[in-house]
Amino acid sequence: MASGTITSSEYITHHLTNLTYGNHPDKGWIFAENGQEASEMGFMAINVDSMLWSVGLGIVFVWLFAKIAKNATTGVPGGAQNFIEMIVEFVDDNVKSVFHHKNSIIAPMALTIFVWVFLMNLMDLIPVDWIPHAAALAGIHYMKIVPSTDLNVTLGLALAVFILIIFYSIQQKGIGGFLAELSLQPLGKWALPFNLFLELVGLIAKPISLALRLFGNMYAGEMIFILIALLPFWAQWLLSVPWALFHILIITLQAFIFMVLTIVYLAMAHDHH
Partner 1 sequence: MSINMTIIGQIISFVIFVLICMKYVWPPLTAALAERQKKIAEGLDAADKAGRELEAAQQSVEAELQESKARAAELIEQANKRANQIIDEAKASAQSEGDRIKAAAEAEIEQEVNRAKEALRSQVAILAVAGAEKILGASVDMKNHQELVDELAAEL
Judged by the rule CB under 8 A, the positions of this chain that interact with partner 1 are: 16, 18, 20, 22, 35, 38-39, 41-47, 50-51, 54-55, 58, 61-62, 65-66, 68-70, 72-75, 77, 84-85, 88-89, 92, 104-105, 107-109, 111-112, 116, 150-153, 155-157, 159-160, 163
Residue with smaller CB distance to partner 1, 112 or 240: 112
Shortest distance (Å) from residue 42 CB to partner 1: 7
Q: Rounded to whole angstroms, how far apart are CA atoms 4 and 6?
A: 6
Is 183 catalytic? The answer is no
Q: How far is the CB of 101 from partner 1 (least distance, A)?
A: 16
Alpha helices in 99-191 (DSSP H): 106-122, 130-137, 151-183
Q: How far apart are CA 108 and CA 94, in angstroms?
A: 12
Q: Minimum CB separation from partner 1 for residue 173, in Å?
A: 23
Determine contact, residues 119/61, Cβ cutoff 8 Å: yes
For partner 1, the closer CB: 153 or 228: 153
Closer to partner 1 by Cβ: residue 85 or 199: 85
Closer CB to partner 1, 48 or 182, in the complex: 48
Options 23, 34, 152, 213, the catalytic residue: 213
Q: Which of 94, 121, 217, 240 is catalytic?
A: 217
The verdict on whether 54 is a catalytic residue reads no
Taking the complex as a whole, the smallest distance from the CB of residue 166 to partner 1 amounts, in Å, to: 14
- In sequence order, the β-bridge partners of residue 28 are 24
3-state secondary structure of 47: strand
Q: What 8-state DSSP symbol labels residue 102?
A: -
Q: Taking a C-beta distance cutoff of 8 angstroms, is the pair 23, 45 a contact?
A: yes
Least Å from the CB of residue 154 to partner 1: 8
Alpha carbons 78 and 21: distance in angstroms, whole number: 44
Rounded-to-integer distance, Cα 207 and Cα 165, Å: 10
Task: Determine which helix (DSSP H) or strand (DSSP E) holds 224, and give its type and residue range.
Answer: helix 192-229
Spot the catalytic one: 71, 82, 97, 209. 209
Give the chain's length.
Answer: 273
19 within 8 A of 45, measured Cβ to Cβ? no
**Is 32 within 8 Å of 20 (Cβ atoms)?**
yes
Cα angle value 54/59/64 (rounded, 5°): 130
Q: Is the peptide bond before 207 cis (omega within 30 degrees of 0)?
A: no
Q: Is 209 a catalytic residue?
A: yes
Question: Smaller CB distance to partner 1: residue 92 or 199?
Answer: 92
Nearer to partner 1, 156 or 177 (CB): 156
* Residues marked as catalytic: 209, 213, 217
